[in-house]
Amino acid sequence: MDTIYALATAPGRAGVAVVRVSGPQAADVCSQLCGNVPPARLASLRRLTDGGELIDEALVLRFEAGASFTGEPSVEFHTHGSPAVVARLLAALSRIDGLRGAEAGEFTRRALENNRMNLAQVEGLADLIDSETEAQRRQAMRGFTGALAERTERWRASLLRAVALVEATIDFADEDVPEDVMPEVRTILANISDEFRREIAGVGAAEQVRRGFEVAIVGPPNAGKSTLLNRLAGREAAITSEVAGTTRDIIEVRMDVGGLPVTFLDTAGLRETEDTVESIGIERARARAEAADLRIFLAAEDLGVSVQQEDLRVAAKCDLGHPGTGLPVSGKTGEGVSALLEYVGSTLGQRVSEDQVATRLRHREALQAASEALEDAEKLLYSPDDTAELAAESIRRAIRSMEALVGRIGVEEMLGEIFSSFCIGK
């Protein structure tokens, strides 16, 4: 493989910047820039020079093959985080024969190809890098630390036993089998099928943790929606006015609520109007509110938006003594806002499972295929005909679908899309 290099930390001024080099020439590069090669896995202070000119004093870490992130010989230069220092070091690396700049996600791809990570861990790492809230971090860590791979291996081991038991009835069909193995096989398939169904059902919520939840603030004009949004945001995110119809487009504010990524939507006041532009905003508001994960209604009357069981009604402008049904809230004084946020966080948090390991649409598709294969196997095992061989093949089909979860088979075509989401230095 080529030896590649890239800035592994965010660009811009910082206390420290890390430049990573990975590949067969890593030690030679270290020797050229430092004068000698420091001991492996021992942080060493070295002067980095290029053509006799001092670039910087840096902390240098060298890793041997099999001990680095990529699994290849690697070197990391921890320099001062000056953009000028980083640019000078990258320029020096670019002039060394055999080196080239890394592509997006290429370090992580090499870790996958060298069996340092599996595909589910790669996806978990991508999610960890992008995580903004505690719930996103916890979910990403389950993937990055191999929870999906561990569970997949357990499923695989159980199904391999089921296949072996079924094939024993085929191989020894003309002989006396010590015991009827089919009850054990059916139990294995039923238990794993139940686990598959739970994982499949939880993927939607896991995807929402990654993308974020939406909560729509719904009400008639001048109900206090924009004032409430501004209070939630802690800034003037929306224009407030006594003139009805001020808000026409949807205003979004993204927040961390109880560790969950939540976007609050300030929608146009819902009413009948002859104003063409306002009516467009109202229709958009209704559609977005219907699609939201939760709705906060600032009115008791019917506004043409479906009310779900978990939706919250609030008595807005409670500081003015306005009567209303629901939680008393004032966007002006902040009364009731903490209770509102607590309700939103707990309600959405109940939809998230801490035991969920399948978190992506790709995972759901693989598990769905495996689940369908097990359903076929169970039907064949209960068939009065001699269909044991077909049942065994259906179980093998389920195993192949699971192996795609962690990248053992059939995933080459999706690798480019996955790694394109990584930064250059990862």
Q: Kindly state the tokens that stand for 117.
A: 């990570």
266 is in an annotated binding site: yes
From the list 278, 287, 321, 322, the residue with the least C-alpha distance to 306 is 287
Dist. CA 205–CA 212, nearest whole Å: 10
244 is in an annotated binding site: yes
Residue linked to tokens 């009364």: 335
From the list 7, 62, 65, 54, the residue with the least C-alpha distance to 31 is 62
Backbone φ, ψ for residue 129 (5° rounding): -60, -35
Q: Kindly state the tokens that stand for 200.
A: 């499949």
245 is in an annotated binding site: yes
397 is in an annotated binding site: no
- In the DSSP assignment, the letter for residue 244 is T
List b or e across 404-416, with b for residues whose CB sees 16 or more CB atoms inside 10 angstroms.
bbbbbeebeeebe
223 is in an annotated binding site: yes
For residues 402 and 151, the answer to whether their CB atoms sit within 8 Å is no
247 is in an annotated binding site: yes
15 is in an annotated binding site: no
From the list 235, 234, 308, 224, the residue with the least C-alpha distance to 266 is 224
Backbone φ, ψ for residue 64 (5° rounding): -80, 165
224 is in an annotated binding site: yes
Residue linked to tokens 């021992």: 42
Residue linked to tokens 């205003």: 251
337 is in an annotated binding site: no
How many other C-beta atoms lie within 10 A of the C-beta of residue 4?
24
Dist. CA 49–CA 118, nearest whole Å: 38
118 is in an annotated binding site: no
Coil vs helix vs strand at 337: helix
Q: Which helix (H) or strand (E) holds 125?
A: helix 119-130
Q: What's CA 127's distance to the chain center, in Å? A: 4
355 is in an annotated binding site: no
DSSP lists the bridge partners of residue 47 as: 57
36 is in an annotated binding site: no
263 is in an annotated binding site: no
225 is in an annotated binding site: yes
User: Would strands 251-257 and 327-328 be described as parallel, antiparallel, or unpaired?
Assistant: unpaired
269 is in an annotated binding site: yes
65 is in an annotated binding site: no
Binding residues for GTP: 222-227, 241-247, 266-269
Binding residues for (6S)-5-formyl-5,6,7,8-tetrahydrofolate: 20, 76, 116, 426
Binding residues: 20, 76, 116, 222-227, 241-247, 266-269, 426
Binding residues for K(+): 222, 241, 243, 246
Binding residues for Mg(2+): 226, 247
